[in-house]
Structure 1
Amino acid sequence: MAAAGRWEILRLHVEDGIPLTALAQDTGIGLRTLQRLHARYKTHGYTGLQDGPRADAGSHRVPKELVTLIEGLALSRPRPAMSTVRRRIAPICTARGWPVPSYGVVRSIIQALDPDMVTLALEGPAAYRDKYELALRWAAERPNALWQADHTLLDLLILGPNGKPARPWLTTILDDHSRAVCGYTVFLGAPSAMNTALALRQGIWPKTRPDWPMCGIPEVLYVDHGSDFTSQQLRTTAVDLHIRLIHSTVARPQGRGKIERFFSTVNTELLTTLPGHTVRGQPTPTPKLSLAELDRTLEEFIVTYNDRAHSELGTTPRAAWIAEGWLPRLPESVEALDGLLLTVAQSRIVRRDGIHFQGLRYTSPTLAGYVGQAVVIRYDPRDITEIRVFDHDAFLCKAVNPDHQTEAVSLKDVQAARNTRRRALRTGIHERIAVLASTTEAPPPASTAPAPEPRRPKLKVYQED
């Protein structure tokens, strides 16, 4: 009986003065029960009429070993159905003299398992970590103390250089303290160390726009384990710029949540308004924007984003980055920054005819005094007609390739030429092998020469004697 129904019955006794014996006869409730309810009402009031939890709530009238067995079956991979669990425990119960539990009892035992235990047993440590482990939300104490860098493939189709549709990539540099976007680059093709360097260059060197003041060398650069972020070029650049490079834990995206949130904002607020926006399950759109047009659109969006109030900060990212005024750490010059970011360091031996690199030869009069010595060269992958030569940290000279002094040759051009030559050689090899195979498989031509006479044995037989 609900508490409200009990109160209606007791009200007749309390307010109307009807005896409990008469109420017991009229309602069919035992007199002793009404007396207990009346005592609870006088002691605790209306709340005393409510039923409390049963003392045996959550327990089962089955042996403890059987409960453990059912739980073990439910936590095994692949997880069996409840009916399968009951069928498997039935012969065990019969053998041990236990009553076979009903499907409802099996269901209640399985449903009473801790959800975190079920997740860990059936879905693994990663799922358990993402659902139940405590997450520490950490933020840098000041601007430029920590920058995050990451890539994302945009949900957009643009016109590539050949006029065909292509999906661009976006690399972003985000200040952890202020959530301000310090630099970015948008490009076609897979992410590379050079694209990361271009985004870092824009983030470090002061911009020409006064409404985009973020600049400076960060103390820490937080990245994932992508091939461009683990490249020798980025490690060397971080050492030269005195940047501490930290890689996030493998398969733990929680530490990059801030920059992932910015990527989501770009996809939902900017790309949905542009022609060529792609949506899964819908027809492929027709691209209209070029890479340069997308670049300009992204720059305007980022500047607006930096001036927009952030819900967690209570102010704009730009105001949080400027704070009370401070001086960021900057390189000596943009040329020095380009020399570190946009070039790749390699070790080479100076030969009598110059320095050999990527199949090209580089010469300079200064190298005459360093023949046979190891030097460090730096080159720009976008133009390898010229290299810079260093003796340890001291700059020696610029060496040039005599065959390409008046033209720009990129590392990709050299690699493409090598691949073309290699494919041509392989084609020639396959053609010759095919001819050889067809020749060896053809039947030999019929011969017109007379058949040779059979050889006579060298040993004499008895008839010849």
Structure 2
Amino acid sequence: MAAVELTPAQRTEAMRRYRMLEPHLTGGVPLTQVAREAGIGERTARRWLAHYRAHGLSGLARTPRRTGRTTHPELVQLIEGLALTRPPPSIAAIHRRVSTVADHQKWPVPSYSTVYAIVRGLDPELLTLAHDGTAGWRDRYELVYRRTADAPNRMWQIDHTLLDVLVLDPAGTPVRPWLTVVLDDHSRAVPGYSITLGAPSTLGTSLALRQAIWTKADPSWPMCGIPEILYADHGSDFISDHLRQVAADLKITLIHSTVARPQGRGKIERFFGTLTGELLPELPGHLDHGRPVTEPALSVTDLDYRMRGFIIEQYHQRPHRETGESPHRRWLADGWLPQLPENIEALDLLLVQVATGRIVHRDGIHFQGLRYLDPVLAAYVREPVTIRYDPRDITAIRVFHHDRYLCTAISPEHSGRTISLKDIDTARRAHRRRLRSQIHERIQLVTDYLPTPAAPPAAEPAPPRRRSTLRTYRED
């Protein structure tokens, strides 16, 4: 068979046969072993090999059978058009419809096998685009550019996932926690993460980045530093002004993936899959298809401890399937110094602490029902200031005047305690419940001791007024 232009179906078949012969052609594997592993006869394999050496790839294409009957060209186009409709009809349905048309047009009626061969001869890429749309075609055939960093801390990815495990919140209620992970693109190491009970938020993202950037107390977890690029999707916390400001201050280039295009986030999704398949099934409260396999028993702190142990002791130490090196070894490389912020206070000021405006009163600064004092504030009574606070601990606030740091004001009533914003909100709700209970008690007394006034007799319904069609205005 001479070298000819192959149809898409012939090209697919030729490539399939070539892949069967490839171990013999490129690796020197005996042809008998290749035939046995491919599930074909040795004579067939030798015939394919002879055709390939004589005619190249076209020699492996299936030669179409020649029959005495030919299908009318317009009927072929009709069969192909029906096969490309959505939803795709069965071969039997196509055969019935084209047989009716052929009989009406006095054309030779095609057999079922002919219709089947025509449909099978269509380009698979064309069928995918017609039946699955642009998204399905893109996921299977579109050329993908895999962005890969060539050094540690060159690019980090960040994303959230809802874990398939139940933990107990402070009230003892089982809830599903959210995990935010920062992943180094080059080494696949995890510099930082955070576990929260609420939906993904700017605070959870900031806590994960804080842990990722700053040095850890554990020497077996050396990953730290400021990345050059932070790659994220279009979550509300990833496109927030807060994260943009952090990226600008730390000289980080913030890049967002294309909307509805998950291909660029495959590395961090693979890490989530590793957690789901290896760590979570070993934990109490693991969920299988939404149902708990065992009773939940872990708190968020317990889950954080187990998560950290898995990342440091197992995930970081074993060779990665794609890189061939362990994330720990690949991140260390040949020795290098990551870029770090000046101090942890400066990092907290950027990432964790939230800014808001207040007025300095004679008795201090009022915020969230607390009062904050510092001797420096005596010179700024009735002046507007900016305060920054950590939502996890609001017993102290940092005060700025025209972007100049003044002091750290303390709440005198709680100077020896750590109070979070959640504690304040819980106390507010409890206070409102107490007030509502008192209101209910007093209203109940009124109902018990005072007779309910008799309802006035029902008045005769007034005849409906005819609405004027004349538009009037208040100024008239």
TM-score, structure 2 as length reference? 0.70
Aligned to 1:4: none
User: C-alpha offsets along residues 419-439 of structure 1, whole Å, 9 cap, x if unaligned?
Assistant: 77889999999xx9xx9xxx9
Please tell me whether the aligned partners of residues 178 and 197 of structure 2 are also in contact (alpha carbons under 8 angstroms): yes
Give how far 1:143 is off: 0.9
Give how far 1:376 is off: 4.3
Please tell me whether the aligned partners of residues 167 and 285 of structure 2 are also in contact (alpha carbons under 8 angstroms): yes
Partner Cα separation in structure 2 for residue 128 and residue 424 of structure 1: 60
For these two proteins, the number of residue pairs brought into alignment is 393
Of the candidates 444, 456, 461, which is equivalent to residue 457 of structure 2?
444
User: 2:201 aligned with 1:192, yes or no?
Assistant: yes
Relative distance call for 1:293 and 1:146 in structure 2 (3 A) is: same
Code of the residue aligned with 1:334 in structure 2: it is I
Partner Cα separation in structure 2 for residue 112 and residue 53 of structure 1: 11
User: 2:189 aligned with 1:162, yes or no?
Assistant: no
Relative distance call for 1:55 and 1:75 in structure 2 (3 A) is: closer
Give how far 1:107 is off: 2.4
Aligned to 2:222: 213
Which one is further off, 191-200 or 309-318?
309-318
Partner Cα separation in structure 1 for residue 151 and residue 128 of structure 2: 38
4+ residue runs over 4 A deviation: 50-60, 349-376, 399-409, 413-429, 439-443
Of the candidates 287, 291, 294, which is equivalent to residue 278 of structure 1?
287
Which one is further off, 281-290 or 218-227?
281-290
Alignment map for 1:9-20 (pairs within 5 Å): none
Give how far 1:265 is off: 1.8
Secondary structure of the corresponding residue to residue 101 of structure 1? coil
Code of the residue aligned with 1:157 in structure 2: it is L
Aligned to 1:457: none
User: 2:330 aligned with 1:317, yes or no?
Assistant: no
Please tell me whether the aligned partners of residues 349 and 372 of structure 1 are also in contact (alpha carbons under 8 angstroms): no
Please tell me whether the aligned partners of residues 233 and 345 of structure 1 are also in contact (alpha carbons under 8 angstroms): no
Please tell me whether the aligned partners of residues 154 and 170 of structure 1 are also in contact (alpha carbons under 8 angstroms): yes
Aligned to 1:342: 352
Give how far 1:176 is off: 0.9
Code of the residue aligned with 2:86 in structure 1: it is R
User: C-alpha offsets along residues 51-87 of structure 1, whole Å, 9 cap, x if unaligned?
Assistant: 9965766998222222222222221222223333344
Give how far 1:400 is off: 5.8
Please tell me whether the aligned partners of residues 350 and 367 of structure 1 are also in contact (alpha carbons under 8 angstroms): no
Relative distance call for 1:367 and 1:119 in structure 2 (3 A) is: farther
The structure with the largest alpha-carbon Rg is 1
Relative distance call for 1:115 and 1:186 in structure 2 (3 A) is: same
Give how far 1:378 is off: 2.2
Give how far 1:269 is off: 2.2
Partner Cα separation in structure 2 for residue 51 and residue 148 of structure 1: 44
Alignment map for 1:107-122 (pairs within 5 Å): 107-122=116-131
Code of the residue aligned with 1:134 in structure 2: it is L
Partner Cα separation in structure 2 for residue 322 and residue 380 of structure 1: 33
Aligned to 1:243: 252
Secondary structure of the corresponding residue to residue 378 of structure 1? strand
Relative distance call for 1:239 and 1:209 in structure 2 (3 A) is: same
Secondary structure of the corresponding residue to residue 141 of structure 1? coil
Secondary structure of the corresponding residue to residue 126 of structure 1? helix
Which one is further off, 218-227 or 414-423?
414-423
User: C-alpha offsets along residues 117-162 of structure 1, whole Å, 9 cap, x if unaligned?
Assistant: 1111111111111111222333211111111112222222333322
Aligned to 1:306: 316
Alignment map for 1:58-457 (pairs within 5 Å): 61-280=70-289, 284-304=293-313, 305-346=315-356, 348=357, 350=359, 376-391=386-401, 393-399=403-409, 409-413=419-423, 415=425, 442=455, 444=457
User: C-alpha offsets along residues 306-344 of structure 1, whole Å, 9 cap, x if unaligned?
Assistant: 122223333222221111211111111111111211112
Relative distance call for 1:290 and 1:401 in structure 2 (3 A) is: closer
Partner Cα separation in structure 1 for residue 453 and residue 120 of structure 2: 73
Q: Percent identity?
A: 55
| Contiguous gaps of at least 5 residues in structure 2 | 1-50, 460-476
Which one is further off, 94-103 or 61-70?
94-103
User: C-alpha offsets along residues 34-54 of structure 1, whole Å, 9 cap, x if unaligned?
Assistant: xxxxxxxxxx9xx9xx99965
Relative distance call for 1:333 and 1:378 in structure 2 (3 A) is: same
Secondary structure of the corresponding residue to residue 124 of structure 1? helix
Partner Cα separation in structure 2 for residue 121 and residue 423 of structure 1: 60
Aligned to 1:15: none
TM-score, structure 1 as length reference? 0.71
Aligned to 2:47: none
| Contiguous gaps of at least 5 residues in structure 1 | 1-43, 447-465
Please tell me whether the aligned partners of residues 168 and 186 of structure 1 are also in contact (alpha carbons under 8 angstroms): yes
Code of the residue aligned with 2:347 in structure 1: it is L
Which one is further off, 356-365 or 185-194?
356-365
Secondary structure of the corresponding residue to residue 281 of structure 2? helix
Which one is further off, 411-420 or 221-230?
411-420
Give how far 1:370 is off: 6.9
Please tell me whether the aligned partners of residues 358 and 387 of structure 2 are also in contact (alpha carbons under 8 angstroms): no
Partner Cα separation in structure 2 for residue 406 and residue 294 of structure 1: 28
Give how far 1:380 is off: 1.7
